[in-house]
Amino acid sequence: MYSLETRSRGVQERTFCKWLNTKLEMNGYPPMTSLVNDLSDGVRLIQLMEIMGDTSLGRYNKNPRIRVQKAENVNKALEFITSRGVKLTNIGPEDIIDGNLKLILGMIWTLILRFTIADISEEGLSAKEAGRMDLLCSCALIHRHRPDLLDYDKLVKTDRRGNTILAFTIAAEHLNIPQLLEVEDLCDSNHPDERSVMTYIASFFHAFSSMDQAETVSRRVEKFAELMQSVWVSRNDYERRIRILLSALSGTQSQWAATPFSGTYTDAKELSMDFATYKQTTKRAWVTERQDLATLFGNVQTKLKTYGLRDYVPPSGLALSDLDEAWKRLLAAEATRSRAINAQIREIKESLRKQFADLANDFERRLHAISNKLTAIEGTLESQQQQVQEIQTRLPALKGVLANVASVEAECAAANVEENDYTVFTCQDLEFELELLNLSVGQKIAFIDNQIVSRNMTNLTPAQLEQFESAFRYFDKDETNTLSLPEMTAALASLGIVYTDEDMILIFEDLTQAYGAVTYEAFINLLVDITEDQTSPEQLREAFRGIATDKPFVTELDLRIAHLPQPAIDYLREAMPRTSKEAGEPEYDYERWLDDVFA
């Protein structure tokens, strides 16, 4: 069983012999059959050096018969090898003549490194690394350069023998790469001879290098055509895009110039919002496009300068300088547009201030005039009644005017008008004053009506009328000139007139049915009926004496014990004079009060 070294030497001898034969056969020399025998006379070695060095070594012994002649030939070849910068270690003419296979193989390997493998690189793969490649890698190389011959992705990566045979076959039939190795040299050993594999793989690199050189001219033309096409596409793209951008800039400015201001704040604010949206969207897109166009133009010029070609000159009106000028016009138009919108908004706000102030001031003057007229009313009660009613007919129209004031104030609020130097009034102020005027007119009408009623009550003394009117006004809390059931009950009680709840309800219902409500007239007529029936000054004195338990004064406690309603107690406390007593519970002089009332 051969050792690994012996087996590798046998593979190398066969591989190197085939490799040398490819050189000889290409130049018309017969092939060798044995490195030891065929190289011993130096003839084949000289022929190989002339082929590899592409030069003539001069005269030599073509048919050497004696050892000296063979030595001369071998020495000539070795000197040539040395002259080419190849170092030969531990080998001399006698080693080749005597057939020292180990040294002969070392020499041939040195020649292979110098004339075939040196400086080979493909896709970052050095020649030395090629020694670790197998024929699967060769399949990958074939697929890389000639995908029409082999589809690497379809290979069964575990089929080492099949892939090796396939690579050998394709290389020999389609790439003119002789089969320097046998299938067994690669597949039957876990450690194929590295030098033999490198020698064979180098043939692939040389074959593909030749193919690349054949394609160089066409690729150069193709590359130039691709460059010019790329420049042409970029130029067309630049011209198309700059035309679109210039047109957009011009169109927007024309649109702004043709857009009128309607004069309303809402429309002006909408224009302002549209302008802000334009700056955040359209304008930013244009800024980006402008930068992209500058970059595109620069790229075109860079490509042309890189290959020494003439600079690109855009058509008239499409240069970057034209775009710069258009951009300056856009910025000027933007400034004009912004100033116009802001001025319009300021003008509208000022107009709204003046409009509101005019309406508000005029409304307040009308209110003041009506109020003065109400205050100046004079004449007979009937005449005063007629004048107040005429004033009352003018009040509904003021509500419509106030609605206009409120509408303009709403416009001011929508326009963010917060200050107004033309008026001190707000719509709320005017609304309050109008309500106050309505109330004053109503009170004036009620007062005149009550005075007419009082005037017609001839069977009551003025003091009684004043007392009854005072009680009515006091308990008319909502100032409607009518009394509710609780209010009527309290008013009567304050006058010392007390009924049961059932009787009070009956009286209230009778008055409501007769008068529509317990008006001042209904209240006075009720008191007339009561006073004529049962209430004389003396009767009232007796009633108060009963409540006071015959004391000359009455206290709040006395009134509460008599079950008078709280509103009546409150009224009597305010109406009756207090005694001179300062300490203790307040005492009220009912006798003096009744004297004053019935005087």
Give me 341's structure tokens.
């919108």
Which amino acid type is present at position 100? N
Closest by CA to 75, choosing from 63, 61, 85, 65, is 61
- CB neighbour class for 285 (10 Å; exposed up to 12, middle 13-18, buried from 19): exposed
Q: What are phi and psi of 588, to 5 degrees?
A: -115, 130
Closest by CA to 35, choosing from 88, 90, 96, 91, is 96
H, E, C per residue of 308-361: CCCCCCCCCCCCHHHHHHHHHHHHHHHHHHHHHHHHHHHHHHHHHHHHHHHHHH
Q: What is the dihedral of CA 39, 42, 48, 52, to 10 degrees?
A: 130
Taking only the tens of pLDDT, the chain with its 599 residues reads 456 678 888 899 899 899 999 999 999 999 999 999 999 999 999 999 999 888 998 999 999 999 999 999 999 999 999 988 888 888 989 999 999 999 999 999 988 888 777 756 444 445 455 544 566 677 877 888 788 888 888 888 788 888 888 888 988 888 888 988 888 888 877 778 888 888 888 888 777 776 665 555 567 677 877 888 888 999 999 999 999 999 999 999 999 988 877 778 888 888 889 999 999 999 999 999 999 999 999 999 998 898 888 899 999 999 999 999 999 999 999 999 999 889 888 888 899 999 999 999 999 999 999 999 988 888 888 888 899 889 989 889 889 899 999 999 998 988 888 889 999 999 999 999 999 989 888 888 878 877 777 676 656 677 777 888 888 889 988 888 899 999 999 999 888 888 889 989 999 999 999 989 999 888 888 888 887 655 567 778 888 888 989 899 999 999 988 888 888 889 899 999 998 777 888 999 988 988 888 76
CB-based contacts of 374, cutoff 8 Å, min separation 6? 388, 391, 437, 440, 441, 444
pLDDT at position 264, please?
Answer: 80
pLDDT at position 237, please?
Answer: 95
CA dist 175 and 166 (Å) reads 13
pLDDT at position 1, please?
Answer: 43
Strands 482-483 and 125-126: unpaired
> Partners of 592 in the beta sheet?
none
Angle formed at CA 423 by CA 421 and CA 428, multiple of 5 degrees: 125
Using the structure block, give the residue that is written with the tokens 């169109």: 251
Closest by CA to 379, choosing from 448, 457, 458, 462, is 448
Strands 587-588 and 482-483: unpaired
The answer to whether 274 and 341 have CB atoms below 8 angstroms apart is no
The answer to whether 379 and 387 have CB atoms below 8 angstroms apart is yes
How is 465-513 classified by DSSP, letter by letter? HHHHHHHHHHH-TT-SSEE-HHHHHHHHHHTT----HHHHHHHHHHHHH
Give me 222's structure tokens.
């193709």
pLDDT at position 43, please?
Answer: 93
CA dist 368 and 131 (Å) reads 115
CA dist 121 and 125 (Å) reads 5
Angle formed at CA 39 by CA 102 and CA 63, multiple of 5 degrees: 155
**Cα 10 to the chain's mean position, in Å?**
77
CB-based contacts of 448, cutoff 8 Å, min separation 6? 381, 384, 385, 388
pLDDT at position 121, please?
Answer: 45
CB-based contacts of 176, cutoff 8 Å, min separation 6? 207
